[in-house]
Amino acid sequence: AQTVTQSQPEMSVQEAETVTLSCTYDTSESDYYLFWYKQPPSRQMILVIRQEAYKQQNATENRFSVNFQKAAKSFSLKISDSQLGDAAMYFCAYRPFPGGNQFYFGTGTSLTVIP
Amino acid sequence: EAGVAQSPRYKIIEKRQSVAFWCNPISGHATLYWYQQILGQGPKLLIQFQNNGVVDDSQLPKDRFSAERLKGVDSTLKIQPAKLEDSAVYLCASSLDWGAQFFGPGTRLTVL
């Protein structure tokens, strides 16, 4: 069974500093997607970044980057130059491919950005 | 490109009343998901549609919850009768057969 684990319920970071959120997953599949979603308080869940398992290169989206370690089944999110607007719940998610329409979510990490 | 639309955004009802939520997915997305999200928790899948067929409804409390996706486009989720513990945000999401899932703004339900 696929499971996604986020071991850090809460994290905090000083504004302009860098923070890394961790995520591990368990799967026997060789192809899959991994995602990080951001959900600000009382606001919509939005996609931050995605990674295809067959790609060795780590995905990057502006200040957001991932460290994908396939053998270790680890998928951490690094936020550089943290901004107040980065404060949110962050969810890691896994989707098997092909043929996988089910998404598996972690329990989330609440990120606080300290001015 | 229009995103996932949901209505209403907020709903307050008394326990034992009924309520319905509507979702219109991104055009062309065959898969539609309904999630329940309790405050402070991650989303819990209630039901998943592929076109107008149900793929997974194993966690849907079928004695009170129902959902349909007629014509394989928009969908409604109904609760009848509502209980206090149904207070949550109900999220609708859609996806293609690959790639990411995209979420609507959610409906915040309060049951008094």
User: What mean pLDDT comes out for the span B35-50?
Assistant: 91
Flag whether residue A101 sits within 8 Å of chain B, measured between CB atoms. Answer: yes
Quickly state the pLDDT bin for B41 (edges 50, 70, 90).
confident
Whole-angstrom distance, CA of residue A45 vs CA of residue A62: 19
Whole-angstrom distance, CA of residue A12 vs CA of residue A49: 20
Domain that holds residue B74: 5-111
User: What mean pLDDT comes out for the span B59-78?
Assistant: 94
Flag whether residue A41 sits within 8 Å of chain B, measured between CB atoms. Answer: no
Q: How many domains does chain B have?
A: 1
B80–chain A nearest CA distance, Å: 25
Domain that holds residue A16: 3-114
pLDDT of residue A34 exceeding 90: yes
**B chain contacts of residue A91, beta-carbon cutoff 8 Å:** 42-43
Nearest to B106 among A44, A107, A108 (CB): A44
Nearest C-alpha neighbor of B55 from the set B86, B85, B102, B97: B97
What is the pairing mode between strands B107-111 and B10-13? parallel
Secondary structure string (H, E, C) spanning chain B: CCCCEEECCEEEECCCCCEEEEEECCCCCCEEEEEEECCCCCCEEEEEEECCEEEECCCCCCCCEEEECHHHCCEEEEECCCCHHHCEEEEEEEECCCCCEEECCCEEEEEC
Task: Give the CATH number of the domain where residue B89 resides.
Answer: 2.60.40.10
- With beta carbons less than 8 A apart as the criterion, state whether B34 and B92 touch: yes
Contact call for A45 and B55, based on CB within 8 A: no
Looking up tokens 């849907």, which residue turns up? B60
Q: How many CA atoms lie within 13 A of A112 on its CB side?
A: 7
Q: How many domains does chain A have?
A: 1
Task: Give the CATH number of the domain where residue A42 resides.
Answer: 2.60.40.10
Q: Render A101-113 in DSSP notation, one character per residue.
A: ---EE---EEEEE
Q: What are phi and psi of B54, to 5 degrees?
A: -80, 125
Most confident of A28-32, A94-98, B86-90, B99-103: B86-90
Whole-angstrom distance, CA of residue A92 vs CA of residue A99: 20
Among B98, B102, B107, which would you mutate to test the A interface (most chain A Cβ atoms within 10 Å of its Cβ)?
Answer: B98
Average pLDDT, chain B: 93
Contact call for B48 and A102, based on CB within 8 A: yes
Quickly state the pLDDT bin for A99 (edges 50, 70, 90).
low
Nearest-Cα residue of chain B relative to residue A36: B100
pLDDT for the residue B97: 77
Nearest-Cα residue of chain A relative to residue B94: A101
